[in-house]
Every structure is written in structure tokens, then in C-alpha cells.
């Protein structure tokens, strides 16, 4: 894997060149892309030429872009045959921003169909018989395979944190709206959030900090031990024994290193909010993909057709009620965060499942996406069958830097342990 922070420092110090970095990426892609299938479109030469003339704070580093984000010079199929060969007229706002800051857009990465459930061809670099997760499949797998040091993904349920967990990397979903969503193929406008992948926490933080212009970088820092709340949620029994052990191991290591660790039970409103997530998502998806459902239903997967049909049956008053439940839960969560710094909880039910027919479950991510709060997968632990086990840290709304600092601190402990 390639560290964005390390590469940026080496470029700045003259220890490496942009050309050398692209040669490294090209070699990894040539060796493994046929197996991994991270890309829908590869633009290695174009990115290299752009990067060689870059003077921005991203230093010409290769950036993978999920294929539900528009690109003016590359196809954007959104994971659907409906849009095969479609090239947008303009870049998504975040893509234009990344170019302006000096990134080289190395290619478009595989997304599930409209960033929902139907998997693409991407395989897990740790074991190609296992899913890389989704919907940001290619963006996560490409980092783990060494194809690029930074990538963009999106999360509506768990599409940044879960694939990061399955691929053993850092995946950061910032506070809702911190990265612009214009030019994103919308699935649910209340939930869709753009996130950043990197080898480790400092790399994802570097990418997100540079793109947002905020003081989120954590490399070179020595953060103090945070107050961590271990939260099982009402779904704890859905976690595998290994995942439960991973959370308990992370908590034990944190406490031993000086963190205050508490176990917190969420109020009942959060189980209601978990159900509200689906109501909000499905109602909005049925509207957002109305054209596709009306004109191209036969080209949609069965699971998406059924979801959109069900979404059209949701009454406006039920949608409004779900939104009010979400607002009430957000207020409750804000009050809880007065007692601790971050929440520790599973990133996924377990390690990446065997097979490519599913990208795994987002049940441990949805509530936090609905809350609009920053979330990050912290890598470092492994399962008995040599697959990554990720744990998730969740921060308070707007407290992205504090969340990243706590994740950077915890990642150091997990790496030493692992």
C-alpha cells in the first residue's frame, strides 16, 4: 500500500518524483488489476501528464474517483448498464476541487449499481474469493492493492467505512456536507456523504483536510488518550464473535494506554432512528431514480426495482415522521457527546464475507450516517483467516479533527498489538 502522507513528504523533500510514483502505481495495476477489477476506466497516462505540472498541495498524487461522481473527461456509468458510455459535461464539484488542488485523477473506480446493493466485479486484495465491500468497492480495493494512495467514495449506509474495514485501510466519512456533493449521482440526498480512503488514518485525514481546507491533518501529532464510549447498539448480537472480540480488544488496549473507557447504552430513540434510515433512504431513492425506474426498469437489478417500488409506497407523512425521529436522535446524540469524546463500535458484522454475490451488511453504519456525524474505520486487527477486522470510531457532529486524532491514536495501539 502507498502512504499519501509519506509520498507527499518525499516529493516536497525531493526524495522521489511524481513520475516515480506513477511508475509504482502502473506496475501494481499491471500486476493485479486483472484479478482485482478496481477500475471502470483507467486514465494513467493522462493523470501522469497532469500531475507532472502540478504545484498544488496534493502534489500530483494519483486519486481514484468512485464512478458515481461525474468526470468531464471520463465515462460515468454509475454502476448501471443504463449509462454505459455516458460522459458528463462537467466534473463533480469535489473532482474539480481535487484537480485544482493538484491531484491526478488516475481513473474511475467500481461502484455497485447506483451505489446500492448489486455488486460489481471488484475482489478483495487480501483474498480475491471475498468481497471488498461496497458500494465504494473499487476505491477501497484500489488502496489496498497499491493502485493509488488516495481515493474518493460515498456513503449512504456504510459504503465508506465497511469496504475500508474489509480491505484493511482507513475510510473516513466526514460530517455531513463537509465535502460538496454537486455532481454526485444522488441516491438519497439526506444521507449521501462523500468520504476519503487512505492507507492509514493519517493518509485519509491528509486527503480530507486538503480537500476541505480544514485543520484535520493528524500526521506528526501526538494526541492524548481520549474518553471512549463503547457502544454495542441494539444490533450487537449481529456481530460475529471475532468482531465482538475486536471491539473488546481495542477497548482494552485503549484503557491500558491511558484512555478512559465507558460502556454506554443508547436510548430507545436510536433503534427507532435505525428504522427511520430505511424509510428516508427508500423514499428519496424512489424520487432520485424516478427516470431510471420509469424508463429503464428492465435494466435495473431486481433488488433495486423492489426497493424503488417500495419507496414509492411510502407516504409523505411517514417520511416526515422518519425525518423527525432522525432529528430527535441527533439531539439525543449531541447530549450524549457531552460525556465522552468518541464512540467505539463495529465497522461491520465481521471480516469480509466469502463470495462476490453480496458486499456485506451496513447495519453497524446506517445510524451514524443518519446522524451526519464523522465516522472512520480504524485498521490494524486481523481475523483468524487472515482478513482485516476494522473497528469504527464515531465523533460528535462537526468534531472531525477530534475524531481523526482519536482514530490516529487508536490505530497506533492496534498496529503494535497486531
Q: Express each pLDDT in 18-32 by its tens digit.
A: 999 999 999 999 999
Q: Dihedral, CA atoms, 250, 219, 132, 122, nearest 10 degrees?
A: 180
CA end-to-end distance (rounded Å), the chain: 17
Confidence of residue 392 (pLDDT cuts 50, 70, 90): very high
The Cα–Cα gap between 81 and 214 comes to 38
The yes-or-no verdict on residue 57 having pLDDT over 90 is: yes
Mean pLDDT (whole number) for 291-311: 98
Confidence of residue 278 (pLDDT cuts 50, 70, 90): very high
The yes-or-no verdict on residue 418 having pLDDT over 80 is: no
Q: What pLDDT, on a 0 to 100 scale, did the predictor assign at position 28?
A: 98
Computed over every residue of the chain, the mean pLDDT equals 97
Q: What pLDDT, on a 0 to 100 scale, did the predictor assign at position 117?
A: 96
The Cα–Cα gap between 409 and 274 comes to 29
Please identify which of the residues 37, 54, 66, 151 carries the catalytic annotation. 66
- CATH number of the 4-212 domain: 3.90.1300.10
Q: Is 66 a catalytic residue?
A: yes
List own/partner pairs for 209-215 with CB under 8 A and 24 or more apart: 210/57, 210/58, 210/101, 211/94, 211/97, 211/98, 211/101, 211/179, 212/174, 212/178, 212/179, 214/178, 214/400, 214/401, 215/401
Confidence of residue 3 (pLDDT cuts 50, 70, 90): very high
Q: What pLDDT, on a 0 to 100 scale, did the predictor assign at position 55?
A: 87
3-state secondary structure of 390: strand
| Residues in the chain, overall count | 418
The yes-or-no verdict on residue 110 having pLDDT over 90 is: yes
Please identify which of the residues 54, 139, 151, 159 carries the catalytic annotation. 159
On the CB side of 245, CA atoms within 13 Å amount to 10
Q: Is 383 a catalytic residue?
A: no
| Largest Cα span, the chain | 60
Q: Is 173 a catalytic residue?
A: no
Q: What pLDDT, on a 0 to 100 scale, did the predictor assign at position 54?
A: 87
The yes-or-no verdict on residue 290 having pLDDT over 80 is: yes
How many other β-carbons are positioned within 10 Å of the β-carbon of residue 121? 12
The Cα–Cα gap between 344 and 418 comes to 18
Please identify which of the residues 3, 37, 80, 135 carries the catalytic annotation. 135
How many other β-carbons are positioned within 10 Å of the β-carbon of residue 30? 10
**Of 173, 358, 367, 359, residue with least CA distance to 281:** 367
Quick one: DSSP state of residue 195?
Answer: E
Cβ within 8 Å of residue 363, ≥6 positions away: 158, 235, 238, 349
The Cα–Cα gap between 266 and 148 comes to 38
Mean pLDDT (whole number) for 74-78: 98
What is the value of pTM for the model shown? 0.98
Amino acid at each position: 500500500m502507498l502512504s499519501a502522507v509519506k509520498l507527499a513528504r518525499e516529493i516536497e523533500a525531493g526524495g522521489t518524483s511524481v513520475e516515480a510514483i506513477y511508475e509504482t502505481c502502473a506496475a501494481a495495476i499491471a500486476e493485479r488489476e486483472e484479478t482485482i477489477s478496481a477500475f471502470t476506466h483507467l486514465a494513467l497516462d493522462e493523470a501522469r501528464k497532469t500531475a507532472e505540472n502540478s504545484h498544488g498541495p496534493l502534489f500530483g498524487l494519483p486519486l481514484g474517483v468512485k464512478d458515481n461522481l461525474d468526470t468531464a473527461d471520463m465515462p460515468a456509468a454509475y454502476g448501471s448498464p443504463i449509462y454505459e458510455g455516458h460522459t458528463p459535461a462537467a466534473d463533480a464539484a469535489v473532482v474539480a476541487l481535487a484537480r485544482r488542488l493538484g491531484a491526478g485523477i488516475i481513473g474511475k473506480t467500481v461502484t455497485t449499481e447506483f451505489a446500492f446493493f448489486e455488486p460489481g466485479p471488484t475482489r478483495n486484495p487480501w483474498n480475491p474469493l471475498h468481497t471488498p465491500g461496497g458500494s465504494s468497492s473499487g476505491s477501497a480495493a484500489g488502496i489496498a492493492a497499491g493502485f493509488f494512495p488516495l481515493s474518493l467514495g460515498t456513503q449512504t449506509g456504510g459504503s465508506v467505512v465497511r469496504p475500508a474495514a474489509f480491505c484493511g485501510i482507513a475510510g473516513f466519512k466526514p460530517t455531513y456536507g463537509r465535502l460538496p456533493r454537486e455532481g454526485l449521482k444522488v441516491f438519497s440526498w439526506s444521507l449521501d456523504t462523500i468520504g476519503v480512503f487512505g492507507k492509514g488514518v493519517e493518509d485519509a485525514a491528509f486527503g480530507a483536510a486538503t480537500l476541505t481546507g480544514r485543520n484535520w491533518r493528524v500526521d506528526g501529532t501526538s494526541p492524548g488518550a481520549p474518553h471512549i464510549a463503547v457502544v454495542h447498539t441494539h444490533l450487537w448480537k449481529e456481530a460475529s464473535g471475532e468482531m465482538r472480540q475486536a471491539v473488546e480488544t481495542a477497548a482494552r488496549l485503549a484503557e491500558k494506554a491511558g484512555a478512559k473507557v465507558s460502556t454506554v447504552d443508547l436510548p430507545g430513540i436510536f433503534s427507532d432512528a435505525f428504522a427511520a434510515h430505511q424509510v428516508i433512504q427508500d423514499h428519496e431513492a424512489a424520487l432520485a431514480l424516478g427516470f431510471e425506474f420509469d424508463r429503464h426498469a428492465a435494466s435495473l437489478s431486481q433488488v433495486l426495482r423492489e426497493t424503488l417500488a417500495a419507496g414509492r409506497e411510502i407516504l409523505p407523512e411517514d417520511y416526515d415522521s422518519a425525518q423527525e425521529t432522525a432529528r430527535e436522535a441527533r439531539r439525543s446524540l449531541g447530549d450524549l457527546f457531552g460525556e465522552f469524546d468518541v464512540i467505539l463500535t463495529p465497522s461491520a458484522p465481521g471480516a469480509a464475507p466469502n463470495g462476490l454475490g453480496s458486499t456485506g451488511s451496513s447495519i453497524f453504519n446506517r445510524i451514524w450516517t443518519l446522524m451526519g456525524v464523522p465516522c472512520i474505520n480504524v485498521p490494524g486487527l486481523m481475523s483468524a483467516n487472515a482478513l482485516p477486522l476494522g473497528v469504527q470510531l464515531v465523533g460528535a457532529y462537526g468534531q472531525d479533527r477530534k475524531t481523526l486524532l482519536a482514530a490516529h491514536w487508536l490505530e497506533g495501539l492496534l498496529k503494535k498489538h497486531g
